[in-house]
């Protein structure tokens, strides 16, 4: 079992390795994609990689499909970069934090507008 600090350090190294591989990838579907964070399980066997891209739902679906088809390439890059005994299984998730923040701001604006009446 790894400590929390070790898990965080491995997560940051994975984030940098994936971001670096993204920059080298010729697939146009990965243009303007940002890796926001990586969460690693306590046993370092699984990693959740969160990404962000501007655009509509169709663009997000396109990027999600690209990540799913290129997961092996990213896993090999992580293995080569980190030199871990076991390369974690990776899953890619859209980071909806900004979408949630925008929704909260809209709700606050609506509340302020309603209370001003």
Residues 34-55 have pLDDT tens digits of 999 999 999 989 999 999 998 8
Distance of CA 33 to the CA centre of its chain: 9
**Which of these, 95, 49, 40, 37, lies nearest to 74 by C-alpha position?**
49
Instruction: Write the pLDDT tens digit of every residue in 42-91.
Output: 998 999 999 999 889 999 999 999 999 999 999 999 999 988 888 999 99
**pLDDT of the residue at 1:** 59
pLDDT at residue 93, as a whole number: 97
Among 66, 88, 69, 114, which residue's Cα sits nearest to residue 15? 88
For domain 4-115, the question of CATH label 3.30.300.20 is answered with yes
Q: Where are the domains of the chain?
A: 4-115
């Amino acid at each position: 079992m790894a400590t929390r600090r070790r898990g965080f350090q491995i997560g940051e190294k994975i984030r940098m390795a994936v971001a670096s591989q993204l920059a080298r990838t010729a697939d146009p579907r990965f243009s303007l994609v940002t890796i926001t964070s990586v969460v690693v399980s306590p046993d370092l066997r699984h990693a959740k990689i969160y990404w962000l891209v501007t655009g509509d739902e169709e663009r997000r679906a396109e990027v999600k499909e690209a990540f799913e088809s290129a997961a092996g390439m990213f896993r090999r890059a992580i293995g080569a970069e980190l030199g871990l005994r076991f390369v974690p299984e990776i899953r890619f998730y859209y980071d909806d934090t900004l979408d949630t923040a925008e929704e909260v701001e809209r709700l606050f604006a609506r509340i302020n507008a309603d209370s001003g009446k």
